[in-house]
A and B are shown apart, each in its own frame.
Chain A
C-alpha cells in the first residue's frame, strides 16, 4: 500500500477492482464502510462477478476476466478527453512533459525491439531523450509530439467506451458512470483510493494491470494524498514481509537485486546501479544503493566482507536466468533437474498451476521437506485419495519429511501487514507436541550444513562457514536478535546526520548507513524497527493527532515510520496542501511539518524544485516507465493466454508478448472451440486459503466445493441448482456443486455472450471440510513477464452435469 488501511476512511471514492476486499479482507474493509458512513464516499466495484463487495457498492460494473487494461485505458482516455485531470499535479509531479527518444514506437500491439523467438524486448529505445546537459529533455508545454503526454493520448485513443464494451463486456452506460465518478477526484479536494489484490496480479499481464490504474491515479493527482493511493491488499498476514525481505529468487532484502552472471564483479554490479538523477537537483534516493548493499553484506558476513574482497560479492550466487520462480522450479523438477524442495508455510500441490504437472514434478523429486503447522496436501501428494488424488503410490519414490512448526500465536515476532507496518506480537500459548519454530528448524539445518562444510570442505564453503551467527543460543536465535540485525548496527564509530555513534550501537534509521563497512544492516527499509531506544514494532500508542488515521506511535512503518508514501505530493509545488481537509504535511517556511514523516528532505525548501518522488531518478511519477518493465513502458490490452476472443485492440497479437511460457505448457493450452467458457478463481470469506478447512467452524460455514455459474449457462447446459457438475480444461478436471446465481451474468463481448465459471479455491483432500478439488487442477502455466505470477484469474473450461464423486453425500 502507498497509504494505509485506516487512511481509506478519508477517501471520497473507493474503487475495488482486481480484488474483492469485503470477501478477502473483511476486517480491513471496515475502513471502506467507514468512508461510506462518515465521509459520504462512493464505492465502485468492477468485477466479473457480483461479489460481497459489490453487495455494499454504490455502483457495480461487470467486466470480462483479463480485460482490465482495456477498461482502465478507457478511463484514462475519458479523463484526458474530458479534461478531468489534476493539471498542476500532472505538470509538476509527473513525467508527462518528458520527451521520449527517437526510435521508440508502438505498432500493432508491439513496442519497439520485440524478438518473437526470445519472447522478449530489446529495450534500448525505451528511454528519454537526453539533452546536451546530460539530463532528460522536458517540454513543459507537453506539446512535443514525442512527450509522454502526447504518447499517452495516442496510446489510449482507441479505448473508446464502445471499444471497452466490445472487449470487456462492460455495458457502456455503466462504464461511463464509473468514469464520471472517478473523474470527480481530479479536484484537489477529492481523492480516490484504489483497492486491489490478486484479481490484478494473477494475470499474464498482472503488473501492467496495476500500471493502468497507477496512470489513472497519477492523472487525477491521487498519489501521496490522504484517502488516495494504490492500495495493494496483501493476502496473508506477512506476505508484505516476504517481499520486503527479498524472498524472491532474484532479490535480496529491501528490494535490492541478486547479481546476474553478466555482473561478475562488484564494479559491474555497482555500475548498473548508480541511479544518476535525470533532472538537475533531484534526490534519486537509490543513489545510496551501495550503502544499503554493503551494509547488507556486512550483516551477512561481518569481518569476512572487506573492501578488498568487494564486500564478499563473490559469496552471492549469480543468476543465469532472470528468476528461479516457482513456475521455472517445477518445470525443472518435471525435467528431473530440481531434485529436492523445502517448503515453509506453503501448499504448492494446491497453489501452483496445473495440478497434474505438480504431481508429476513432486513424484520425480528425491526429497520434499514440508515445514507447516498444519497438514497439507503437498505432504500427502503421494497418497491415493480416490478420484480426489488418484496417484499410483507404489510408483512414487520421493521421500517426504513433515516437520511440524509453531503457528503464529505460538511464537513471538513481527508481522508486516499491507500498511507496511511491522507489528510485534507476543506468544499466546505453548505449541503442541514436538513443534518447533521455523527459526529453530532452519538453524538446525544450517548448523549441520555448516559443520559438514567445515569438516569436508567443498567447492566453495566460504559463504556458509563464514556466515555471521552471533546468537546467544546458536540453535535458537530469538526474534529479538534477528530484528536487531535487520534494523542494523554500527561496527565502528560513525558520524552521520550530524550525530556520532560509537561501535556496537543500534542504528536510528537507514540515513546512518555507510558503504565503508562501518555499518551492518540486514534490510535497509526496516532500519528504525529496533533502535537503541528499543523495539519500535512493539509500540501500542494509538493516539492519532488530527484524526488522520496516521497514529505514528503505533508499531513501526517502513520506510522511516512513514505512513503515506510520496506525501510531499499532498502539497502544491509551493508547499501548501492541495486541500486543508486532507493535509498530511506542509512547509512552514523553515521545514516540513505535519502529521506524517515527510517523504522528502525535512529542510528542503519548495523553491529548490526537488520533485516529490525522491526514489525516482526523475523526481516525478512515471506515466511512462522507460525500460523498467519487461513488457512495455505503457500497458496495452492483450487477451489472456486462453481466451474466447481475438484481440480486438491488436488483432496480430493475442497474448501478452513478453509473458513467459514454456514449450510444454504452451502445448497444454486449450482452444475456445473445445473450452468455450471463461473460468476465474477466488477466495471466499468463510475460509482462509487452505488453512481453515482444518477448522470445524469454518467447515460448517462453507462445507463443500462449488462453482458459480449464471442462470443462462445453467439453462443451456441443463444444470440444476445444487447439482453436481464437472468442469474441465485442457489440463484437468474437477467436480463440484453448482451454485446457479444471478450474480454471474453472461457478458456480451463484441456481440456474443461469454459465460464465466467462478471457481473458489478452498478445498482439498484433507481437513474438516468435504473433499474437493482446487482450481489449480485446471489452470494454465503461464507467468507475468515481470513477476512470473501465474494466470489464475482467466482461462478456458467446459462444464457439464455429472454424477457425484463416489464418496459424496446425496
Chain B
C-alpha cells in the first residue's frame, strides 16, 4: 500500500535475497494504554480519514463495536468487553483498539507466497504491498491475531500499515496523533517500553496487581504493544491471544512442507533426466510421418462441412 521507497526493507515475502539496509534504524512502536483509553473511536475516524477508507454504514447489533469486524476498509477497530472482575466484584469495561500488531516475526510475511507482497521495514513495520499481492489469503492463515482481510473488489489483502507513509517522513501514525487522551503513543520501541513501565507502576498502585506490558515473545515481540490492567489474562480483552505463535502449519508449509515440495519437484526433474538418459528421446517413425502428410492434404482439399476443418481432418 505504502510508498516504501523511503523506508529500508528488512524482510520481503517469498524472496531469498533481501535488499541491503544502508541506514541505521531504530525500531518504532505504538503503545496503546488500554487503561487510558475511553473507547471514543477517534482513532478509527483518523484511520479512515488518513487512509481515505469509507466502510459501509452498518447496523447496530446490540453492542458499541462498529463496524463489527476488521474489513478491507476498516483497519482498526475498538472492541468492547464487559467484564465482571470476580476478585473486586467490580464491572470493568475493557476497550481494546484492535489492528495489526506488526510482529517482529510476522506470520503473514512467512506465509506469503508472492514475492514482495509483504515486507518488513528496518524500523519494524510490516506492510502489505498490494501491487504484488495475489489474493491467496495465506497471510490470514499466517497471522496469529486474525488481522488481514481480502477485498472482494480487487482480491488484495489489506491491514493497518502503522501509517508507514507518515512514519517515513517523521510523523506519528494518524491514530496516535488523534487520540484525545494520549492512550495511543508512538516512538522508538525502547521509549515505549519505558513509558509502559511507568504506566504499569501507576496501575499497580491502583490495585491492578497483574498490570503489565503486552509484547508477546512468541512472535518475537510486536511493534504495537498494549498496557493491560490484566496482563496475566490478555484473552479478557476480546480474545487477545495469551501466547500468540505463528501457526505450525505455516512453519510446516514454509519449513518441512516447502523442503518436501521442492524435493519432490527435484525428484521429478531428476527422474525425467534419467529417463532421457536411459530411454533416449521420443522418435517419430517413417509411416507416422507419411500419414500425417496425407491428413494435411485431405484437410486442404476436402469439402468442409461448415463447422471448420478440425473434426473432418482429425486423424484416427
Contact = CB atoms under 8 A, between A and B. Distances in A.
User: Is B one of A's binding partners?
Assistant: yes
Interface of A: 22-23, 26-27, 29-30, 33-34, 36-37, 40, 50, 52-56, 58, 60, 685-686, 696-706, 720-723, 737-743, 768-770, 809
A56 to B, nearest CB: 6
Contact of A696 (B35, B54, B59, B205): B54
Contacts of A738: 62
Given A50-B91, A56-B36, A703 B206 contact: no
Contact of A56 (B35, B62, B82, B205): B35
Contact of A701 (B45, B84, B181): B45
A154 to B, nearest CB: 36
A37 B199 contact: yes
Nearest to B46: A697
Nearest to A51: B93
Interface string B224-255: 00000000000000000000000000000000
A721 B93 contact: no
Interface stretch (B63-71, B132-140, B150-158): B63-71
A77 to B, nearest CB: 26
Nearest to A701: B41
Contact of B59 (A29, A40, A704, A740): A704
A721 B82 CA distance: 14
17 contacts: A22-B40, A26-B42, A33-B36, A37-B36, A50-B91, A52-B38, A685-B38, A698-B45, A700-B54, A701-B66, A703-B66, A722-B60, A722-B61, A722-B63, A737-B61, A738-B62, A739-B63
Contacts of A53: 38
Contacts of A706: 60, 62
A55 B38 contact: yes
A698 B67 CA distance: 11
A723 B59 CA distance: 11
B27 interface: no
Contacts, number: 123
Contacts of B45: 697-698, 701
A697 B48 contact: yes
B106 interface: no
B90 interface: yes
A703 B59 contact: yes
B49 interface: yes
Contacts of B93: 50, 52, 54-55, 743
Contacts of B82: 741-743
B19 interface: no
B59 A809 contact: yes
A809 B61 CA distance: 11
Contacts of B7: none
Interface string B197-215: 0010010011000000000
B92 interface: yes
Across the A-B interface, the 4 shortest Cβ-Cβ residue pairs: A722-B62, A721-B62, A55-B93, A704-B60
A699 B55 CA distance: 10
A740 B45 CA distance: 25
A722 B64 CA distance: 11
A716 to B, nearest CB: 17
A43 to B, nearest CB: 10
B181 A739 contact: no
Nearest to B207: A58
Given A52-B38, A700-B54, A701-B41, A29 B181 contact: yes
Nearest to B37: A56
Contacts of B38: 22-23, 26, 29, 52-53, 55-56, 685
B56 interface: yes
A770 B59 CA distance: 8
B91 A52 contact: no
A703 B60 contact: yes
B58 interface: yes
Contacts of B54: 696-697, 700
A743 B91 contact: yes
A58 B205 CA distance: 11
Nearest to A772: B60
Given A26-B38, A26-B180, A30-B182, A770 B57 contact: yes
B296 to A, nearest CB: 65
Which residue, A22, A27, A29, A686, has most C-beta atoms of chain B within 10 A?
A686
A119 to B, nearest CB: 41
Contacts of B48: 697, 700
Nearest to B61: A722
B60 A723 contact: no
A40 B64 CA distance: 30
B59 A37 contact: no
B80 to A, nearest CB: 9
B60 A737 contact: yes
Contacts of B64: 702, 739
Contacts of B180: 26-27, 29-30
Given A55-B38, A685-B40, 14 more contacts: A26-B40, A27-B180, A33-B182, A34-B182, A37-B36, A686-B66, A696-B54, A697-B54, A699-B57, A700-B57, A723-B62, A739-B63, A742-B82, A743-B93
